[in-house]
Structure 1
Amino acid sequence: MKAGDMVLATNRLTIRVLHPHEWEQQHEYEVQNKDHLAPWEPLRAPDYFTPAQCQARIAQRFADYQAGCQLPLVAFEHQSGQLVAQACFSQIVRGPFQACYLGYSIDHRYQGQGLMYEMLSPCIEYIFGELTLNRIMANYLPDNQRSARLLARLGFAQEGLAKRYLKINGHWRDHVLMAKLSPYQQ
C-alpha cells in the first residue's frame, strides 16, 4: 500500500487514511468521544489523550499502513467536513492466511444514522477486491447490540464466543467472534 493512494467516497462520506500532519482532527475525535468509547475500549493511560501521544499514534498507524500491516481509515462527513467515524483493518497477514481484524468507532453525535454501515461497506469491498484478503474478523462484547446488528447487516457470521478475550475498561470480557469471507476467493 502506498501513502495517499486510497480514497473512497459514499453519499455522505469521504473515507481515507489520515496523514501524520492531520493528527489534530484525530485528537479532537478522541477527546470528544472519550467517555462514549470508554465502555468498549481498554483503559487508557492518563497521557493517552495528550496531543503528543495522539501524534505518535497517527505516525505509527501511517507507518504501519505504508508497510502493509494495517489500513487505518477515517470518515469525514461531506457536509460538515467533520471526522465522524474510524475503522482499522489491522494485523493484516498474508501467505496462506490472507486475513485481518476489523475495529471501528463512531462519534457519539452521529450514532444511529447508518454512517458506520455506509463507511464499512465500501471498505470491506476494498479489502476483498483490491487487497485480495480472504477473511475479515471482528469481535464484539455480547451486550453491544449495535455492533451485533451492524456486523450481521454487513454479512459477518458468528464463529464462536471467546471467554475473557480482551481486557476492556479494566475487566476481562467475553467477546462474540465474527468473520466475513471474501466472495472472490474459493
Structure 2
Amino acid sequence: MFGYRSHVPKARLTTERLVVRLVHARDAWRLADYYAENRQFLKPWEPVRDESHCYPSGWQPRLAMIEELHRQGSAFYFALLDPDEHEIRGVANFSNVVRGSFHACYLGYSLGEKWQGQGIMFEALTSAIRYMQRTQHIHRIMANYMPHNQRSGALLARLGFKKEGYAHDYLLINGVWRDHVLTALTTPSWVPGR
C-alpha cells in the first residue's frame, strides 16, 4: 500500500570492461574475498588492516555504516567489478565529502594484484570521477600518494590531477608515518547541484 523510498544514491556505471557501482550489503562476501586475496599485495600501501577485512562478518557492520554515509552524501564507496558482477577487481572511495563553499572530497583506490598494468583503474576512475563531478557536483577531488608509488603518481597525472604540495608524515601506512605528494583535480565548468 505505502511504498518505502530509500534515499541511498544509486550509481551503477559501465565501462568497456567493468561495472563500477556503489557497494551495498550484499557485497560482504565479494569485499572479503578481494581483501583476503590481495592482503599481502596491498599491505605496503594501506593502513594496518585487522582480520575482519578478510571475512564477510567483518564487512557486514562496515557496509551498514558505508550505506549510511552514502545516504548522507558524505562518502561514495565504489566497487570495480567484472561485467557479471561476480568478482571485485578493485575499489575507489570518495570520502570526506564537504559541500558548502568547498564542494570537495578525497579519493582513495586500490586494485587487485592480478589486474595491475592493464589500464583498469584508469578506466574505472574516469567513469567514477565523471559521476562525482556531474551527479554529485564536486568541484575538487584530492588524491595523495607516497613518493615511491610512481604508478599511482602516473595514474593521477594521466587523469588530470595536478601536484599541489608535499606533506611529511602524512598518513599512517602499514604502521609507519609516510610522506605523501598532494594532488587535486578541479572541475573547470562546475555548476551547483539542483
TM-score tier (shorter): over 0.9
Partner of residue 53, structure 1: 58
Q: Given the two structures, how large is their TM-score scaled by the length of structure 2?
A: 0.90
SS at match of 2:58: helix
1:76 aligns to 2:75 (yes or no): no
Cα separation, 1, equivalents of 2:101 and 2:85: 42
Q: 2:39 aligns with which of 34, 41, 63?
A: 34
> Which one-letter code corresponds to 1:143 in the other structure?
H
Cα separation, 2, equivalents of 1:170 and 1:2: 37
CA contact (8 A) 2:28 2:57 kept: no
Q: Alpha-carbon deviation of 1:109?
A: 0.6
1:132 aligns to 2:160 (yes or no): no
Deviates more, 1:151-160 or 1:38-47: 38-47
Q: Which runs of 5+ in 1 are unaligned?
A: none
Cα separation, 2, equivalents of 1:80 and 1:129: 24
Cα separation, 2, equivalents of 1:89 and 1:155: 17
Partner of residue 3, structure 2: none
Q: Alpha-carbon deviation of 1:85?
A: 1.2
CA contact (8 A) 2:81 2:90 kept: yes
Q: Alpha-carbon deviation of 1:51?
A: 2.9
> Which one-letter code corresponds to 1:20 in the other structure?
A
- The 4+ residue runs of structure 1 with deviation greater than 4 A are none
1:141 aligns to 2:175 (yes or no): no
Q: Given the two structures, how large is their TM-score scaled by the length of structure 1?
A: 0.94
**Matched residue count:** 186
Cα separation, 2, equivalents of 1:79 and 1:12: 10
Deviates more, 1:149-158 or 1:3-12: 3-12
What percent of counterpart residues are identical?
41
Partner of residue 120, structure 1: 125
Partner of residue 100, structure 2: 95
1:180 aligns to 2:171 (yes or no): no
Cα separation, 2, equivalents of 1:39 and 1:96: 35
Q: Describe the superposition over 1:73-120 as per-residue Cα deviations: whole angstroms up to 9, x where unpaired.
A: 011122684211110000000000100000000011100000000000
Change (3 A) 1:84 1:155: same
Q: Alpha-carbon deviation of 1:4?
A: 5.5
Q: Describe the superposition over 1:133-181 as per-residue Cα deviations: whole angstroms up to 9, x where unpaired.
A: 1100000010001100100000000000000001111111000000000
Q: 2:172 aligns with which of 147, 150, 167?
A: 167
Deviates more, 1:16-25 or 1:151-160: 16-25
Q: Alpha-carbon deviation of 1:45?
A: 2.9
CA contact (8 A) 1:138 1:177 kept: yes
CA contact (8 A) 1:12 1:79 kept: no
1:63 aligns to 2:68 (yes or no): yes
Q: Alpha-carbon deviation of 1:48?
A: 4.1
Cα separation, 1, equivalents of 2:53 and 2:123: 29
Q: Alpha-carbon deviation of 1:39?
A: 0.2
